[in-house]
Structure 1
Amino acid sequence: MAGFVSADIEKFVQFETQAQEAINEFDSIKDKFDDINSTLLRKWKGEGKDAYKQESDHIMENVGGIKTILDTICDSVIKDVKEAYLNLDEELKAFNENPSEGA
């Protein structure tokens, strides 16, 4: 008798957890930057303040886009792949219970 056919999704589960931790850390870094930037702009005297603010606002808009991409990867792609593997697990269970009939 051949061994069971199996699919291990542990790596997906680990990635999902680590990705969420990275997103949380990313949010924390962004918040810290916002605090530092606000303090800097509040205390800035002289030329260049408006140009710096425009540039930092533009950067933060792009950073927000990166967060959206990370969230999409975690909320859509990883969850969809994990669900597909869980469905495969059910099919493999049926196959392993009666391999002569196929899945």
Structure 2
Amino acid sequence: MADEFVVNDAVFKVVDTTEISKLQTKAQQLVQDFEDLKTEFNRINGALLDTWEGEGADEYKYETDHILEKIGDMNSAVDALNTDGISNVRQSISDMDAELGEQIRKMANDEEE
């Protein structure tokens, strides 16, 4: 729940944007975890295919290569989310915060006069 403060009978909510930063960091960690998983899969898959020959091995390799191709990488999706989505939200909140701060300063100055 957001903290509140009051200025001239107006109630303002305090928003903690550190959670947005944490989300961006966690998203990048997910990308690394996904890449590590693919690396381990490729290592195990390579060891299996080193000892397997024939049509079955060829078909298996074709299918696993196809799956990996379809999976692609998470990095582009997470980068798009971080850049276009989360960063835009964070910037909007920062912009609103700056505007709100200016309005509060004006209200405080008006009250002093």
Q: TM range, normalised to the smaller chain? A: 0.7 to 0.9
Q: Aligned equivalents of 1:5 and 1:94: distance in 2?
A: 15
Counterpart of 2:58, as a letter, is: D
In terms of mean alpha carbon deviation, does 17-26 or 70-79 score higher?
A: 70-79
TM-score by length of 2: 0.73
Q: Residue 83 of structure 1 corresponds to which residue in structure 2?
A: 91
Please tell me whether the aligned partners of residues 12 and 78 of structure 1 are also in contact (alpha carbons under 8 angstroms). Answer: yes
Paired position in structure 2 for 1:98: 106
Structure 1, unmatched stretches of 5+, are: none
After TM superposition, the structure 1 stretch with the greater mean CA deviation from structure 2, 6-15 or 81-90, is 6-15
Unpaired runs of 5+ residues, structure 2, are 1-7
Distance 1:44 1:67, change over 3 A: farther
Question: Which structure shows the bigger proportion of residues in helix conformation?
Answer: 1
Q: Secondary structure of the equivalent of 2:55?
A: coil
- The aligned runs of 1:14-53 (5 Å cut-off) are 14-53=22-61
Larger RCO of the pair (alpha carbons < 8 Å, separation 6+) = 1
**Given the two structures, how large is their TM-score scaled by the length of structure 1?**
0.79
Q: Which amino acid aligns with 2:56?
A: G
